Amino acid sequence: MEKKYYHFYSEGKKAAELFLSKSDFVSALNRLAVCALRFPNVVVVAFTFEDTHVHFLLYCLEEEGKAFCDLFKRLTMIYISHARGGKPEGLQFIFDVEEVEGESYLKKVGAYVLVQPTKDGKGIMPYDYPWSSAPLYFRGEKVVPVWCVDRHGVVQEAVRIGNMTCRERKKQFRTDVPLPDNWLTCNGIILPANYVDVNRFEQIYRTHNAFRAFLSRSSDSEMIRQTAMVKGVSLPDHEMREACRKVCREIFGVRDVRVLDSTKRLELARKLRRRYLISSKQLSRIVHVPVDEIERLL
Q: Reading across the β-sheet that carries 4-10, which strands appear in turn?
A: 43-49, 54-60, 4-10, 95-99
pLDDT score at 225: 53
Type of residue numbered 83: A
Neighbours of 55 (CB within 10 A): 19
Q: Write the burial class of residue 80 (CB in 10 Å: 0-12 exposed, 13-18 middle, 19+ buried).
A: buried
pLDDT score at 223: 56
The one-digit pLDDT tens for each residue of the chain (298 residues) are: 899 999 999 988 778 789 999 999 999 999 999 999 999 999 999 999 999 999 999 999 999 999 999 999 999 999 999 988 877 777 889 899 999 988 988 999 999 999 999 888 888 999 999 999 999 999 998 899 999 999 899 999 999 999 999 888 888 898 888 999 999 999 999 999 999 999 999 999 999 999 999 998 755 555 555 555 555 555 666 778 888 898 899 899 998 898 999 899 989 998 888 777 777 778 888 898 887 788 777 6
Helix or strand (DSSP H, E) at 54: strand 54-60
Of 20, 80, 42, 44, which Cα lies nearest the Cα of 190?
Answer: 44
| Spacing of C-alpha 165 from chain mean position | 33
Q: What is the DSSP letter of 10?
A: E
pLDDT score at 254: 92
pLDDT score at 17: 80
Q: What is the DSSP letter of 141?
A: T
pLDDT score at 78: 93
| In contact, 191 and 32? CB cutoff 8 Å | no
Report the DSSP beta bridge partners of residue 132: 48
The CA distance from 253 to 45, in Å, is 48
Question: Phi-psi category of 100—alpha, beta or left, where left has phi over 0 and alpha has psi -120 to 50?
Answer: beta
